[in-house]
Chains A and B, each alone.
Chain A
Amino acid sequence: MLWSAVSLCMALSGTDQVAAAQDAAVWQIAQRSIATILRNGLPCGQAALIGKSGLFLAGDTGLIDPSVEARLSDGRRIRLDWKAMDRATQTVLLQAEDWTPDMGIVVTVRPPGQPLSKTPVLVVLPGGPVRGELVSENRLGVLSNSAKRMFPLGEVRFESREQSLAGALVFDQEGHLAGLLSATLSDSSNQGSRIVKVPVPAGLGGGASQLDSSPRAQAKSLSFGPADPTIGYTVSSEVLRRVVAGFLSPTHKVMHPAIGAFCKDAPTPGALVQQVTSGSPADKGGLEPGDIIVKMGDKPIRNQFDFARFVDTKDVGDTITVVVLRDLVPKTLTISVGTVEKS
């Protein structure tokens, strides 16, 4: 029985060693594309190199300064200047000063068609990388701002004691950028053990946290059990590709396709138009509030999510046919796809 236990431990540790080796290989590839953003000399975010001219992609983690300091993997310090922002995905474009192409490797975004479920990923936090799992790339996410934009999201699960997770970069096992953490589930206490954090007064050895200098974390914490399980959401790799393409364009503007309509679920199969933005492509195409969209292109529309998903797959400038029910009478409209001007 003792030897069985020993064998089991050796087998498990062997599995962990293999996983650790894979993570190390991914980190070896990824770290040359990453700049760690510093605030007061402490890490507070990550930026990924997306352009050879020194263009970096980062999450909007409340970067209020127009210029921030960052550190490359080889220890060199650079300055990153605010260049553009995409409010829909809460991402920012930063330009490195005095950049030369040999200072880093441009990251590649995860290509389409990859297996989706339970993919191991590396989540790069300010304090370093942690192993995670890409549970799904097909979650539906809706922004609660005025744009009410829907995006396909990736759901990532990992454990971390850090308190600054926004903007964490997510890499898959091939070293491709799979996402950028933008949101965390506010109630993620269903999985894993709960952690108890007990602040230790300074007189008993407590002090400022190495990783988080916020006033809330001034006391050193004692942690019991595994780290906090976190469920995070990233924009899907297809949306990420659109963001990178937009930031790399001459205007540095991300063009999310839209027609300017807001829909909810209709009582019958379809999307019920609640509101049409004045002057939008939907307005010009003749779409009216109260219409029930039942078909777009050759795709039947069952609800508002089908509507949003169909629009999201189009490019700005495309022309689509929309079949609606207006006072129970079917009508066919032709609408050109525009873009979101502001949210």
Chain B
Amino acid sequence: MNKKLEEQLAKMAFGDMSPEETARLEQIVAGDREATRVLNEYRDMRTDLLAMSQVPEHQLSTDRLRHAILNQGLKPASRPQFGWLWIPTMAATLAFGIMFLRNARHSPLEQIAGAGSPVASLESTGGMPELDRAPRLQNAFAFADASAQILSVAPIEPTVVAHPRRRMSADRLAALRDAVNQEFENNLIVNASGGVVANQPESRSQPSGAPIVLIDTTKDSATGAQKATEVDSGSNVVVGG
């Protein structure tokens, strides 16, 4: 399926097309299974977006969504499988640093000799241990482990509400939400009185929703007529009147 047809199907699914164009495209889709599948996917995407309370319907636009998806991608952000390990790692680094500084007056050999000692238990102080009262551990990693037990917290999983009709993975939904929010933030503008207004839909430059036709004065060698090209966005087109 060519890219232009796919873009048109996306516009159709998001209601950014005139009734004439919609009827014309419906005829094309009726005989094309691949196009029907793609159209249904875009429709489901729209439904899922509507399910998110942060996206008002009048602000949905295929142009902004496409831009957001192209820039952000639909692939879920790669999340490290053991992301929570950064906390104990930081704690271990900090502890090691402190131990190093505190024991700087002792010879390095004494530090190494203490590596084989059994892990010392840390007195529970009911919270974060105060480092200046911490027992002198000969095994810095034991201290780090103990700190990790206090500092580690359970990872907070986001609550994702998916549309009951279709199961979308939490990651994909979150990626879509982030992409759309980012796109809306990028489009915030200031109105004439200085207040920030809601995003201006890009379709404001295309009242009918159809692409703008630019007519060149050069002739098309294939037809002898003037060359015409279509542009999706007319916001930068200068017109005379």
Contact = CB atoms under 8 A, between A and B. Distances in A.
B238 A268 contact: no
Given A118-B23, A183-B228, A265-B234, 19 more contacts: A117-B19, A135-B20, A138-B18, A140-B208, A140-B234, A141-B212, A141-B215, A141-B228, A142-B212, A142-B237, A148-B239, A163-B223, A165-B223, A184-B227, A185-B229, A263-B240, A267-B200, A268-B192, A269-B204
A105 interface: no
Given A142-B215, A144-B217, A166-B219, A267 B189 contact: yes
B4 interface: yes
A305 B107 CA distance: 81
A260 B241 CA distance: 6
A258 B239 CA distance: 11
A163 B223 CA distance: 5
B240 A141 contact: no
B229 A186 contact: yes
Range of interface residues on chain A? 35 or more
Nearest to A143: B215
Interface string B195-209: 001001000111110
Nearest to B193: A328
Nearest to A212: B224
A169 interface: no
B220 A268 contact: no
Interface stretch (A48-56, A236-244, A307-315): A307-315
Contacts of B212: 140-142, 305
29 contacts: A62-B224, A90-B226, A117-B19, A135-B20, A149-B240, A149-B241, A150-B241, A166-B223, A182-B225, A182-B226, A184-B222, A184-B226, A185-B230, A186-B220, A186-B229, A190-B5, A232-B223, A233-B215, A263-B240, A265-B204, A268-B192, A268-B200, A269-B200, A274-B238, A303-B207, A303-B234, A304-B238, A306-B207, A308-B240
B237 A186 contact: no
Contacts of A298: none
B241 A307 contact: yes
A170 to B, nearest CB: 12
B240 A148 contact: yes
Contacts of A311: 241
Contact of A303 (B205, B217, B222): B205
- List 3 A-B pairs, minimum CB-CB distance, nearest first: A166-B225, A311-B241, A183-B228
Contacts of A183: 213, 215, 220, 225-228
Interface of A: 59, 61-62, 90, 116-118, 135-136, 138-145, 147-150, 153, 163-167, 181-187, 190, 216, 230, 232-233, 258-259, 261-265, 267-269, 274, 292, 302-308, 310-312, 325, 328
Nearest to B213: A141
A274 B238 CA distance: 8
Contacts of B204: 265, 269, 302-303
A187 B240 contact: no
Identify which of A140, A148, A263, A268 gathers the most chain B CB atoms within 10 Å of its CB.
Answer: A140
Contacts of B193: 328
Contact of A149 (B24, B205, B230, B239): B239
Interface residues of B, number: 47
Interface of B: 2, 4-5, 18-21, 23-24, 189, 191-193, 197, 200, 204-208, 210, 212-217, 219-230, 234-241
Contacts of B235: 264-265, 303
A264 B238 contact: yes
Contacts, number: 174
A127 B118 CA distance: 100
Contact of A165 (B24, B225, B240, B241): B225
A264 B238 CA distance: 5
B234 A305 contact: yes
Nearest to A330: B192
Nearest to A269: B204
B239 A305 contact: yes
A181 B226 CA distance: 9
Nearest to A137: B20
Given A141-B228, A265-B235, A306-B207, A150 B23 contact: no
Contact of A325 (B192, B228, B234): B192
A167 B197 CA distance: 48
B223 A184 contact: yes
Given A141-B213, A269-B200, A116 B239 contact: no
Contact of A61 (B19, B224, B237): B224
B159 to A, nearest CB: 37
Contacts of B5: 190
Contacts of A138: 18, 208, 210
Identify which of B4, B214, B215, B236 gathers the most chain A CB atoms within 10 Å of its CB.
Answer: B215
Contacts of B237: 142, 264-265, 304
A5 to B, nearest CB: 19
Contacts of A90: 226
B24 A135 contact: yes
B239 A304 contact: yes
A216 B221 CA distance: 10
A190 B2 contact: yes
Nearest to B21: A136
Nearest to A117: B20
Contacts of B226: 90, 166, 182-184
